[in-house]
Amino acid sequence: MDWNNLLKPAKKVPSTNWSSSDPMSLKPKFSTITILVIGLWIFGTGDAIIVAAGLGVAPWTVLAQGIAEQINWTLGQTTFLVSVIVLLLWIPIKERPGLGTILNAILIALAIDVMLPHLPKPEVYVLQIIQVLIGTIFVGIGSGLYLTANLGPGPRDGWMTGIQRITNIPVAKVRASIEISVLLLGYYLGGTVGLGTVIFAVFIGHTVAICLQLTKKIDIFFNN
């Protein structure tokens, strides 16, 4: 196995031995669905870790909060609205939803509800920052796993990978650009922004790209 450039960020989602050949498949291999489920659960756990840290939520939640302030909807309703709008943005970039798209919404939400009550809620500022960083790493690992299953990304990740595919811009830059833009719009609309929000927006792009690279290297290692 070539361990050179192990932590070099991936420029696109790699193909692995467990990757589905058909993103629209409703009968994926056991290994494919297993990686998908594990990745989504880790992703949701990362979200919960960030929420529990108490330093601010992820940029997409900031946007949902901002919209809720403007139209007097609940956060859940506006979160769903954002997902629908993002799915509509898939049309011009010709992305297709799959089983992973559906499971994304279900499993991430379930992981947050299950894990959040059991997570520490530190009051020391330094510990809060560390917890946000840990949560960001978890989201990156989860993304690196579930995206490589190739069973259809979640609404927001589908937009990210679609833009990367048609522009050939590195995935880290695409993700960071989207997260920062969403953050600014959400804040303008009245969403709550904290240090944790900024940390996530700045680091998530490279974290996902590095985890995609690690996933590819791990796949090569176990299949050589």
Q: What string of pLDDT tens digits covers the 224 residues of the chain?
A: 555 566 677 778 888 888 898 888 888 999 999 999 999 999 989 988 988 898 988 888 889 878 988 998 866 677 778 888 888 898 888 887 888 888 887 788 778 778 888 999 999 999 999 999 999 999 999 998 998 998 987 888 788 888 988 888 888 888 788 888 998 999 999 887 899 988 988 888 889 999 998 888 887 766 76
Res 30: pLDDT = 92
Residue 6, pLDDT score: 62
**Contact 200/132 with Cβ under 8 angstroms?**
yes
Residue 54 has what pLDDT?
A: 85
The pLDDT of residue 44 is 85
Q: Which two tokens stand for residue 19?
A: 């990757």
Helices (H), 74-170: 75-88, 90-93, 99-115, 125-148, 155-167
**φ and ψ at 190, to 5 degrees?**
115, 10
Q: What is the pLDDT of residue 66?
A: 87
pLDDT of 139 reads 92
pLDDT number for residue 3: 52
Place of tokens 């020391």: 124
Question: What pLDDT sits at residue 137?
Answer: 95
Task: Determine what percent of the chain falls in helix, strand and coil, rounding each to the nearest 5.
Answer: 70, 0, 30
Per-residue model confidence (pLDDT) at position 4 = 56
Residue extents of the structural domains in the chain? 30-217
pLDDT at site 202 = 85
Residue 177 is inside which H or E element, if any?
helix 171-189
